[in-house]
Structure 1
Amino acid sequence: MRTVTFGMNISLDGYCDHTIFKPDEEVHDYFTSMLAEVDLLFFGRIMYQLMFPFWADVAKNQSGTDDEIRFAERLTAIDKVVISRSLDNVEGNARIVRSNPAEELLKLKQQPGKKISVDSVSLLPELIAAGLIDEYHLVVHPAMVGKGRPLIKGGSLPEKIDLRLVDTIVFKSGCVALHYWKP
């Protein structure tokens, strides 16, 4: 059975907002190396629209720093599933699934392949409750933002989830990568 990972940049006070953070080379390289083990990205609509077409354009036009281009090329090469009731279409190697994200992820998890990376804050509580997330990669940025979308909305999990810390990386920027496994 495939491993399902969840990775996200967050603030010290637990908010996820890609407009606030400016990941440096080390952080981009960290996420690029994670993607080397992934052959399927599982997006919610919001995250998909935040990431694309931006990263596809970076890869196509070779615009950005070397680390951004490496990340963009790897990200765009991976097949994608986008959970959305409202999107009319997606581009390239992506497909839309309209309903039952946990059921769809379970089917994909049972297929052969590399890891599946979940990139959706809105779907996270449902996928955690279904027992589908095996590991977490959180990059905590040294900032408190006090607003935005929390990683987990209060009351959205049916019970406490205990995790085991398996790795910590401290970057020169002050960001800290925390890697957890579900025991």
Structure 2
Amino acid sequence: MKTVSFSMNISLDGYCDHSMFNPSEEVLEYFTETLSEVDLLFFGRVMYQLMFPYWADVAQNQTGTAAENRFAQRLTAIDRVVMSCSLNSLDDNTRIVRSHPAEELLKLKQQPGNKISVDSVSLLPELIQAGLIDEFQLVVHPVMVGQGRPLLTGGSLQEKLNLRLVDTTAFKSGSIALHYLKQ
């Protein structure tokens, strides 16, 4: 059975708006390393459209820094599932699923392999409620943005989820990676 990991960059005040802050080279290297264990990415439509085609273009044309190019190459090499009712076609290693994200993720989790990385704030409450997220890898950036999409909205969980901190990584930029396991 695969491990399901939720990974996200967030501001100190809990927002996930990637247009408000940029990960440092060290943080990109950290995420590239975490992707070495991942054999499937599970996206919502919004996050998919945020990440691709930007990173696909960087991977193909090598237009970023060395760290950005390595991240882009690793990210785009991994197979993807995108939950979407509106997208019609995607690239070769991406499959669209139209409904029932928790059921789909459960099927995928039961297949052999290493890890599924979930990158979707909109799907997070449903996937937590279904008990499908095994670990959380959050990188907190030293900025307060006061706007954007929060990691969770008030009332989005029916009950609290207790986590156990298993690792932290502090970066020179002031960002901190927090790795939690579900208890």
Q: TM-score, normalised by structure 1?
A: 0.99
Gaps of 5+ in 2: none
Provide the rounded CA distance (Å) in 2 between the counterparts of 1:101 and 1:89. Answer: 18
Aligned length: 183
Equivalent residue, structure 1, for 2:179: 179
Gaps of 5+ in 1: none
Q: Does 1:16 align with 2:16?
A: yes
Q: Offset at 1:92?
A: 2.4
Q: Does 1:82 align with 2:82?
A: yes
Equivalent residue, structure 1, for 2:43: 43
Equivalent residue, structure 2, for 1:164: 164
Provide the rounded CA distance (Å) in 1 between the counterparts of 2:124 and 2:171. Answer: 26
Secondary structure, counterpart of 1:126 in structure 2: helix
Provide the rounded CA distance (Å) in 1 between the counterparts of 2:24 and 2:146. Answer: 22
Equivalent residue, structure 1, for 2:4: 4
Secondary structure, counterpart of 2:168 in structure 1: strand
Runs of 4+ aligned structure 1 residues displaced above 3 Å come to: none
Secondary structure, counterpart of 2:28 in structure 1: helix
Q: Offset at 1:24?
A: 1.1
Q: Offset at 1:114?
A: 1.4
Provide the rounded CA distance (Å) in 2 between the counterparts of 1:64 and 1:160. Answer: 40
Equivalent residue, structure 1, for 2:113: 113
Q: Offset at 1:147?
A: 0.7
Identity of aligned residues (%): 74
Equivalent residue, structure 1, for 2:64: 64
Q: TM-score, normalised by structure 2?
A: 0.99
Equivalent residue, structure 1, for 2:25: 25
After TM superposition, list the pairs within 5 Å mapping 1:114-153 onto structure 2: 114-153=114-153
Letter in 1 for 2:62: Q
Provide the rounded CA distance (Å) in 2 between the counterparts of 1:82 and 1:108. Answer: 13
Provide the rounded CA distance (Å) in 1 between the counterparts of 2:159 and 2:56. Answer: 38
Provide the rounded CA distance (Å) in 2 between the counterparts of 1:22 and 1:2. Answer: 30
RMSD: 0.5
Q: Deviations over 1:84-134 (max 9, x none)?
A: 001111112001000000000000000001100001000000000000000
